[in-house]
Amino acid sequence: MAFDRRNFADIIAQFTVDAEHLREVAADFRHDMRLGLAGSPDSSLRMLPSYLGLPTGEERGDYLALDFGGTNVRVLLYRLEGSGRYEVLSHVAKPLKVSGDYDYVGGEATAEQLFDFLAGLVDEAVGGDQKTPYLLGHTFSFPSAQTNINDARLIIWTKEFAVQGVEGAVVNDLLKEALVRRGLANVTPNAVINDTVAVLLSAAYINGDTQIGAIYATGHNTCYLEPYAGGAQQPMILNMESGGFQKLTPNRFDIALDAASEKPGEQRLEKMVGGRYMGTLFDMALAELLGEQGRLYGFTSVDISRILEDQSECADCASGVVEMMTGRRLSEEDAPRVRELAHAIVVRSVRLMTATFAGTMWQVAGAGKIRRQHIAVDGSVYEKMPHVTENIMRAFSELLGEDAALVDTLLAGGGSGLGAALAAAMTAHEAQG
């Protein structure tokens, strides 16, 4: 069947967030934050306490960082030098899944296998040293319930992870046991943080003026420094698990994607925003347009970014990517349309995320004015996807008017690792005392 041009306009409309809807999302997000802070079960935001405020910038010493939660696991040894400076003394990284070899993402793997794999990486990062005492900060990028900085219990897997025996468990207990099995009793995990928290810590260490941290990668989530204005409580970073925000208007593709996911009904914002899902949304919409509804071609966010990198009028390269994945050659008129579909999916993702940033700033500002600030963001989609930064700025000016000039986003590259080392440093006195 030829390209379905009549359906095309409707599909683009399905992925369009107009100015009014954008404002609604920002306002609803703020409302959910308020409900969440008040402990209401009606909030779709978890607002999880991190038991950390911001670093002073003067943290010093050598700390291990384990960064777990995306496609790759990394272990790094950092030397923090204070004044926002640091050095990376060693760095090892491995994918969590190698086709035909191993898979520590899916439901076949057990907690023990996964954590033995992580302990193996720690072993490599310290070069087999079983003597020198090390403190280790653990960036564990999933919703976890904490009662202090070191005990984090996985509430529920997200991002299509499904390893058995981890949900409900205290993750650093699993890690400690695996380290001991490996002969690494000299490595003491002393802090667990979410990757968003790590990003915020790292940006605050280097730049100051940062109270919001976000990940825009496989998954999406945001944390912020809750000032607890007027109360007796100290400011604390809260992991909102904003990927779980629910007050949205899913289209038919979102609904189908959710139904086929590991955790239907969960992570509705993340499924509209995160890189893990963009390719699938594109797949489903393209299959309709090509008259092959139900077929999955296997597009990923990397393919989407290659399609959008082609800025030529005829979208020749974009068309090449589509042909390779679908086996279908697009006509000259239809190639730019398919690129427009990719563009619409990405722009919707950016606009929804930006609305949540605005909602967060409104909530923190309360009756006062939004303060001048950076929002720290890390992740491959933020870093590599075309059109992201300009659309963040555009959405900010629609939402904040003149105040948009006070706010920008900055890349906190490698923040997940550095933040873990900072968390270990900020907690060091507790481990020793």
Q: Which residues bind ligand GLC (CB under 6 A)?
A: 69, 141-143, 158-159, 194-196, 215, 217, 219, 221, 241, 243, 270
**Considering Cα of 210, then 213, then 217, then 220, what sign does the dihedral take?**
negative
DSSP state of 251: -
How many other C-beta atoms can be found within 10 angstroms of the C-beta atom of residue 370?
15
Q: What is the number of residues in the chain?
A: 433
Minimal distance in Å, beta carbon 29 to ligand GLC?
15
Minimal distance in Å, beta carbon 238 to ligand GLC?
12
Q: Which two tokens stand for residue 369?
A: 């004015």
Decide: 385 and 301 in contact? Cβ < 8 Å: yes
Minimal distance in Å, beta carbon 140 to ligand GLC?
8
CA atoms of 383 and 365, how far apart (whole Å): 28
Q: Which residue has the tokens 């990517």?
A: 321
Pairing of strands 407-411, 152-154: unpaired
Residue with smaller CB distance to ligand GLC, 159 or 351: 159
CA atoms of 5 and 334, how far apart (whole Å): 8
Minimal distance in Å, beta carbon 217 to ligand GLC?
6
Residue with smaller CB distance to ligand GLC, 239 or 251: 239
Minimal distance in Å, beta carbon 379 to ligand GLC?
7
Decide: 390 and 357 in contact? Cβ < 8 Å: no
Residue with smaller CB distance to ligand GLC, 172 or 221: 221
Q: Which residue has the CB atom at the shortest distance from ligand GLC?
A: 219
Residue with smaller CB distance to ligand GLC, 269 or 392: 269
Minimal distance in Å, beta carbon 335 to ligand GLC?
33
CA atoms of 81 and 150, how far apart (whole Å): 24
CA atoms of 380 and 195, how far apart (whole Å): 13
Residue with smaller CB distance to ligand GLC, 139 or 150: 139
CA atoms of 37 and 223, how far apart (whole Å): 13
Residue with smaller CB distance to ligand GLC, 268 or 351: 268
Of 116, 137, 113, the closest CA to residue 59 belongs to: 137
Residue with smaller CB distance to ligand GLC, 217 or 290: 217
For 361, residues 6+ apart whose C-beta sits below 8 A from its C-beta are 212, 370, 373, 400, 407
Minimal distance in Å, beta carbon 281 to ligand GLC?
17
Residue with smaller CB distance to ligand GLC, 135 or 217: 217
Minimal distance in Å, beta carbon 375 to ligand GLC?
15
